[in-house]
């Protein structure tokens, strides 16, 4: 059906294609030009804006981090704090009390003087210390500072700053997890001896830091977070992510392995856009957002362009179909008639009645079909005549051969004075000719063919004064099949002339007929002299043997009969050996179907 439509609509397709090109080329060119220009401008502006936001946020966070750095430096360099840290011991004297009051006041002043400093601690590993605000000495005593990771790192860095991720303050006495802080710590040094005399930890206001990040808008689901130099998340609105490495390997590599401040990566098959900026403490603020969120308006614009192009396409197709249907209707009618002819219907005729070129072509087409029909009928008649002539030639060739052999027998009997036996042969010949003459046409039933063989054996037994035993094994139902006349008789004749007569003995001939998967099989077997190997090979290739003149009249009759009546739907094979008899097999293929159709 599709092939039919494609052929008949070829001219229609050309008209529609022209209209589509005329309408869509300007539309598509304009739309896509606008789209690519808009895409370039939008992406440039969005990326520049995102990068500018990241830079401004990095400056704000760096300012807060610098406050923590400066506060830690002031405390570490204050000689009063160093002296107080050196004088702390297990007994509480007036001097210690005075130091505690002084240090606490000093630490509180640092906190009050800067809104980004939440809490400041001066700690001793022995479990003593000072703190601003709601510092709880009992909370400190429950913590073994020497076991804290940040303390170990501070000792290794020997005075350099140690930053920790966003967390809740564990030394506050105001309740559990009351303050969200960003700690920065270091060891406190005695400047005279440069030995460690304590620990300083400044807690920056974590809530202020989070608010600085949260107020940034990066698409609908985009976010900012802060990582350290090895890719650990230190600041994130989701506190469960703190101190964990970035999980996405592509994003992790872009953060720690590349210097570019802009990058692209994939997350679960979704393309993302990212930016990063270095902070004053060596950390980086990272912003990520799905690409489609920063170009959402552009995607909607692209959808509108595609929809408008589709609408224009449908309009063009509609106009093209209307025009082409009116112009090409006669062409379709003529094409339809040609398709019918292509499928074998030579009676099809074109019905175009216009006076234009299509109408003239239709008349010529009808005239051509009429002439083709006459020629095909003529060829068919000639082929039938040729086929029947070949069949008649085959039958006329074997009949004289058969009569010649019989009349030769009669002459031999008369010459030898065996008039009684000659009379019996004439009587048998009379019955045989009577059986043949009573049948019209060249096709007879299997049963009739076997009856002819019986009568012919009588003649041969009288001639040679031998007994030839005929054994029949006929599957019920096969005896009614129609086969060419004298298909099996030459095989019986050959068995006697070439199998039994040279041995001067009686013989046995077995004919078995049966159906095999819709094929009719004949097996004619004798216990005669057999056929030598070289001759057997020749007989199993009858076509070549006939061309070389190596086959007698009987077998040639069978071969020509099979070829003319059954085309390629037959098989022939001969099995034999010296003094082992001969078996001839003939297979007529699909004869059961042919019989049912007839």
- The pLDDT of residue 595 is 47
- Do residue 437 and residue 529 come from a single domain? yes
Burial status of residue 457 (CB atoms within 10 A of its CB: 0-12, 13-18, 19 or more): buried
Q: CA separation (Å) from 551 to 103, 230, 392, 478, 548?
A: 134, 98, 20, 29, 8
Q: Has residue 149 been placed in a domain?
A: no
DSSP 322-383: HHHHHHHHHHHHHHHHHHHHHTT-TT-------SSHHHHHHHHHHHHHHHHHHHHHHHHHHH
277, 294, 311: which is the final residue of a domain?
Answer: 294
What residues contact residue 419 under an 8 Å CB cut-off, 6+ apart?
413
Write out the two tokens for 558.
Answer: 């069978």
Do residues 459 and 426 make contact, with C-beta atoms less than 8 angstroms apart?
Answer: no
Any domain includes 184 = no
Domain boundary among 294, 320, 352: 294
Q: Are 197 and 85 in contact (CB under 8 A)?
A: yes
| pLDDT recorded at residue 459 | 81
Mean pLDDT per block of 10 residues along the chain (598 residues) reads 44 65 68 64 68 84 89 85 71 55 77 83 78 69 79 88 87 64 89 84 88 78 88 89 90 88 88 89 89 69 71 71 69 74 73 70 78 74 57 53 72 80 78 61 85 85 86 93 87 90 91 91 93 88 84 83 84 89 91 50
CA-based Rg of the chain, rounded to a whole angstrom? 57
pLDDT value, residue 597? 45
Residue 226 in contact with residue 283, Cβ under 8 Å?
A: yes
Q: How would you classify the pairing of strands 223-227 and 196-205? A: unpaired
Same domain, 387 and 508: yes
Q: In this predicted structure, what is the pLDDT of residue 136?
A: 65
The answer to whether residue 560 sits within a structural domain is: yes
Integer Cα distance of 4 and 18 in angstroms: 22
CATH number at residue 230: 3.30.450.20
Which pTM value belongs to this model?
0.47
> Alpha-carbon distance 137 to 445, whole Å?
125
Decide: 31 and 303 in contact? Cβ < 8 Å. no
Q: For the chain, how many helices (H) and strands (E)?
A: 18, 18
CA 573 – CA 152 distance, rounded (Å): 101
Q: Are residues 242 and 307 in the same domain?
A: no
Q: Is residue 159 part of a domain?
A: no
Residue 199 lies in a domain: no
Domain termination site, one of 313, 340, 367 = 340
In a domain, 360, yes or no: no
- Whether 455 and 396 map to the same domain: the answer is yes
Instruction: Assess whether 399 and 328 both reside in one domain.
Output: no
Write down the pLDDT at residue 507.
Answer: 92
User: Quick check: 60 and 53 in contact, CB under 8 A?
Assistant: no
Contact (Cβ atoms closer than 8 angstroms) between residue 532 and residue 559: no
Neighbouring C-alpha atoms within 13 Å toward the C-beta of 122 = 33
Verify that 414 and 279 share a domain, yes or no: no
pLDDT value for 588: 93
Looking at residue 302, its pLDDT comes to 65
Q: Give the distance between the most distant pair of CA atoms in the chain.
A: 174
- Full domain range(s) for residue 458: 380-597
454: three-class secondary structure by DSSP: helix
Q: Residue 518: which of 465, 443, 570, 593 has the closest Cα?
A: 593
Distance CA 206, CA 580 (A): 112
Residue that has been written with the tokens 């065996």 in this structure: 418
Handedness of CA 35, 37, 38, 39 (dihedral sign): positive
Domain count, the chain: 3
Asked if 322 and 391 sit in the same domain, the reply is no
Read off φ and ψ for residue 467, nearest 5 degrees.
Answer: -105, 125
């Amino acid at each position: 059906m599709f092939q039919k439509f494609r052929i008949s609509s070829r001219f229609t397709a050309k008209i529609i294609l022209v209209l589509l090109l005329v309408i869509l080329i300007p539309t598509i060119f304009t739309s896509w030009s606008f789209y690519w220009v808009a895409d370039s401008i939008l992406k440039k502006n969005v990326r520049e804006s995102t990068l500018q936001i990241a830079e401004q946020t990095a400056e704000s966070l760096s300012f807060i981090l610098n406050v923590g750095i400066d506060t830690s430096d002031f405390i570490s360099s204050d000689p009063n704090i160093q002296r107080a840290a050196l004088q702390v011991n297990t007994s509480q004297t007036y001097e210690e009390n005075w130091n505690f009051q002084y240090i606490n006041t000093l630490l509180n002043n640092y906190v009050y003087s800067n809104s980004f400093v939440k809490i400041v601690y001066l700690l001793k590993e022995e479990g003593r210390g000072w703190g601003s605000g709601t510092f709880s000495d009992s909370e400190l005593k429950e913590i073994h500072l020497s076991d804290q990771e940040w303390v170990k790192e501070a000792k290794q860095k020997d005075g350099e700053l140690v930053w920790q991720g966003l967390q809740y303050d564990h030394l506050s006495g105001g309740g559990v997890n009351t303050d969200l802080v960003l700690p920065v710590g270091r060891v406190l040094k005695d400047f005279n001896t440069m030995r460690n005399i304590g620990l300083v930890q400044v807690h920056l206001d974590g809530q202020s830091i989070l608010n600085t990040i949260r107020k940034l808008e990066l698409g609908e689901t985009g976010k900012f977070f802060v990582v350290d130099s090895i890719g650990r998340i230190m600041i994130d609105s989701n506190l469960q992510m703190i101190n964990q490495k970035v999980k996405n390997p592509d994003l992790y590599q872009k953060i720690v392995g590349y210097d570019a401040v802009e990058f692209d990566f994939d997350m679960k098959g979704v393309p993302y856009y990212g930016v990063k900026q270095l902070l004053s403490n060596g950390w980086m603020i990272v912003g990520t957002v799905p690409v489609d969120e920063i170009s959402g308006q552009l995607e909607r614009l692209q959808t509108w362009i595609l929809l408008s192009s589709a609408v224009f396409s449908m309009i063009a197709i509609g106009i093209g179909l209307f025009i082409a249907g009116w112009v090409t209707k006669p062409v379709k009618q003529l094409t339809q008639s040609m398709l019918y002819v292509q499928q074998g219907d030579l009676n099809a005729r074109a019905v175009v009645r216009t006076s234009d070129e299509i109408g003239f072509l239709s008349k010529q087409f009808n005239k051509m079909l009429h002439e083709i029909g006459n020629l095909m009928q003529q060829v068919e008649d000639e082929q039938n005549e040729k086929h029947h002539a070949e069949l008649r030639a085959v039958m006329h060739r074997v009949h004289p051969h058969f009569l010649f052999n019989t009349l030769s027998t009669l002459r031999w009997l008369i010459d030898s004075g065996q008039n009684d036996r000659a009379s019996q042969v004439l009587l048998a010949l009379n019955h045989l000719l009577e059986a043949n003459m009573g049948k019209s046409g060249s096709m007879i039933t299997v049963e009739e063919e076997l009856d002819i063989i019986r009568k012919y054996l009588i003649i041969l037994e009288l001639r040679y004064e031998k007994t030839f035993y005929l054994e029949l094994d006929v599957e019920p139902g096969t005896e009614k099949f129609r086969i060419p006349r004298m298909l099996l008789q030459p095989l019986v004749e050959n068995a006697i002339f070439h199998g039994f007569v040279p041995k001067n003995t009686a013989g046995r001939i077995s004919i078995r007929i049966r159906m095999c998967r819709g094929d009719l099989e004949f097996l004619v077997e004798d216990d005669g002299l057999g056929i030598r190997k070289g001759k057997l090979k020749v007989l199993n290739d009858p076509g070549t043997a006939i061309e070389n003149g190596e086959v007698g009249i009987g077998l040639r009759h069978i071969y020509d009969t099979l070829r003319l009546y059954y085309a390629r739907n037959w098989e022939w094979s001969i099995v034999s050996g010296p003094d082992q008899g001969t078996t001839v097999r003939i297979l007529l293929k699909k004869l059961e179907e042919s019989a049912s159709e007839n």
